[in-house]
Amino acid sequence: MKNYAIIVAGGSGKRMGSSIPKQFLEVNGLPLIMHTLYLFYRFDAKIQVIVVLPSSFITIWKELCTTHSFGFEHTVAEGGPTRYHSVKSGLKYVSNDNSLVAVHDAVRPLVSPEVIISVFRDADYYGNAVPVMPVRDSIRERIGADNRPLDRSKLFLVQTPQCFRTSILKKAYLQNYREEFTDDASLVEVDGGKIHLVEGNSENIKITKPSDLMIAEVMLKAGEKRL
């Protein structure tokens, strides 16, 4: 069984108020995306990683790899206008023969090693595995100008890495782009798949704002101590 990971780094960092895209911002001496990548190499030193980047950032990424002596072999793919297009571009480098592929956001460096293990294990068995967390806040739904409460005990926050048998994900990506394809699970589902949920970890937030970056700094430092 061969393992692949597509690391999607499409963002241009506007929300961070920084000219450096957020996936490249340095946290504890390393670009955010490198923290993320190391987690996957730690899970499987032979994993095939595909980093999907906007074309304009590919040179910056290569320079960062040199600066930080990032020695792991990986493929760089060119991103597209949406997440759908970026993952599809990365999938071209994934071979179909009895393999598993995880798709993960570059700006989620706080996923736990346990969650990475469980999505690969369960995807092997069920065909897919998607990490989720219970919703801790009350949730409201907008209906026109009104809004109503939802029953949060039935709701889950969906995270990445979402892991799939490669043949299943490749087939799902034969579908044309639709706006409701906000994650890979939604594509597989519309394609007829039943989504298998696994427990995520609550620290696994998307780093998109300066305050998130501060959180990442503290949590990554604590993680290093733990390792």
Among 62, 95, 222, 224, binds its own copies (CB under 8 A): 222
Pairing mode, if any, of strands 162-165 and 128-134? Answer: antiparallel
Place of tokens 């061969």: 2
Report the nearest approach of its own copies to the CB of residue 47 (Å).
24
Give the H/E segment covering residue 77.
strand 75-78
Q: Does residue 227 touch its own copies according to CB under 8 A?
A: no
Number of alpha carbons in the 13 Å side-chain half-sphere of residue 9: 32
Contact predicate 86/80, CB 8 Å = yes
Interface map 5-34 toward its own copies (x if CB under 8 A)? ------------------------------
Among 186, 193, 198, 220, binds its own copies (CB under 8 A): 186
Place of tokens 């809004």: 147
Report the nearest approach of its own copies to the CB of residue 42 (Å).
20
Q: Does residue 122 touch its own copies according to CB under 8 A?
A: no
Report the nearest approach of its own copies to the CB of residue 30 (Å).
18
Joined tokens for residue 176: 């044309």
Total of residues contacting its own copies (CB under 8 A): 44
Alpha-carbon dihedral sign for residues 51, 57, 63, 67? negative
Q: Does residue 114 touch its own copies according to CB under 8 A?
A: no
- Among 37, 199, 196, smallest CA distance to 107 is for 37
Q: Where does this chain bind its own copies (CB under 8 A)?
A: 132, 135-143, 146-152, 154-159, 180, 182-183, 185-186, 189, 194-195, 197, 202-203, 206, 208-209, 211, 214-215, 217-219, 222
